[in-house]
Structure 1
Amino acid sequence: MKQRQLGANGPTVGEIGFGAMSFGGMFGETDEATSLRTLDAGLEAGITLIDTANIYGLGVSETVIGKWGRAVTLATKCGIVAGPPRSVDNSEPYIRACLEESLRRLKRDHIDLYYLHRLDPKVPVEEVAGTMSRLIDEGKIGGYGLSEIAPYTLRRAHAECPVMAVQNEYSLWTRLPELGLLRTCKELGVAFVAFSPLGRGMFGEREMRREDFRSGVDFRHTNPRFVEPNFSANNAAIAKFRAFCQERGWSVSGTAVAWVLAQGDHIIPIPGTRTAEHLRHWLDASLTPEDLAEIERILPAGFAWGDRYGDHQMNAIERYC
């Protein structure tokens, strides 16, 4: 697998990373043995950046990765208080407490990349950058990142202590980062880590059905893009892209990941899956300028029906356009 750098001074990693949220059971039943096989398959394919968070399965995802124990670049996150009710805490004592818990579950004494998962309006981002700077100096973390932020927040934090990575949603159907954030990351030497590059399963090998959503815990049940009439409209649009891929003998998910990779050499997509079989679909796709132009014709920016989150899901997510 080709390599990309995780920020101006960060480690070099495989150009595709792995998002381990699904190990916590949000998108369907999972088990430890299957998760470990998936991690093995990823490493065998050259995936060396594993991304998790303390709230994924309330520690389950981190615990599985800790048991796996392979020498890869690890990223995890803090800042969300699971609740109930769910809230956000960016104070230094809370960040430090979360870090110690994550280190214990991951069986590490050092985290390569530590993200602030969500912003706390009560704590200026400069204070968070100061906390992260002290953790770097203490050898607890290699660098820090921010998630779901605006370009101006990145500039404020970066001026206090250089940011290694920004993690925001980015895919064929979520294009907001193109309106300033990708450019700002490039300018500052910050990696852009694209989560949900497969549209939360929409860019899979077969058409998604609402009955595929796990009962009770899958937030897609109430997500605007997955409720009618939006869901049917989105499936119809993506069916044309799926046909485009299949006519060429390409996997749908691999083509969607390749599209993200083609948007900039500082972008690292982190698709997720529960199984090794699905992971293998992501690999070895490359697109010509003509391919990219045709994809843009099939799925132009803004094609998706519905917002990427409902209003109840937008707490602590920065909107800037």
Structure 2
Amino acid sequence: MIHFAIQDHGLGQNLPALVDLLSDDECSIDVSFDGNDEALNEVRQSLSGRTASLTIRRSMSVSWSSWASAQVILDSMVDALSLPEWSYFMNLSGSCLPLLSPQDMRERLASEACQGRIGFCTAYRLARPVCWISSQAPAAPSSHGLETVQGRAQMLVDPSLRDLVESQTLKPPQNIGQRIGLVYTETGKNSYSVRPLSPTELCSRVKFAAVHPIHYGRSWMILHRSIVEWLVTSSILTRVQEFLKDCFCPDEMLFPMTLFSHENPFLEAMSSDNLRYRQGGARRLDLADLPALAQAQRHLLARKVFPVDYPIAADLIRRHQLSIA
């Protein structure tokens, strides 16, 4: 049995078709929805009666690349463990498209387990040295900060980092070393202040990174129940959380660093392939690619599928599944 944990931070337009594609007698589905009361009520109505194994709950408000992204996933794991029977936990977003039926997914995971793989999380080891930036001077008043936009994040940067801003080399979405080499404090929805590390913070981060190699990747995972049970109670998770608490985009490092730590008793059973097309990257999925993806049965899921494309994409997958049934 698979437990699907869906995190949706939009308006939920894709959820009815997504839930239909994931529903069968051996699956449970949890939807964590980040939206206002009106949108949440619309989601509840649109999903009403679709499957008995469905739960819908409000998510905490999530900023892009914030710690809340990781916390929502951890919360969904803890909630899932209160349910019996499921063997695999699979998290996905509301813009994900299942490429296989739940039955085919179970068969694929059983085949992977026969080869010793029961955990799937994209992880790369950081090869370049981190450019740690530290200062003994206190942070400047916010009125003196330099404004910049990184992806969907508005950033107010300490004047001591002016050279990085003016040379346009401050790029934490792309530069993994900058994600951990500075301090990022969430100040509002999709808003952050950025400053250098203090000497004490620098010492703490360098010391931790010397023992625990920096891994980064995606926050999309498929984990056997035994791994989830270990993960949510592990001391290494707590220590990695402390290390990443003021970093940028921590969800893309928390799970790779914890799951690929030498302290993970299931390390030998982990795969760095999360079984998603393009590892679950954020680019818009080209509908022209779908027939070949569905036919290959190499990946379990793909993303992103925008609401305008989702009905067509879901119908294509349904027709393909019927053709091979």
Provide the TM-score with structure 2 as the length reference.
0.31
Larger radius of gyration: 2
Question: Would you tell me which structure has more strand in proportion to its own residues?
Answer: 2
Provide the TM-score with structure 1 as the length reference.
0.31
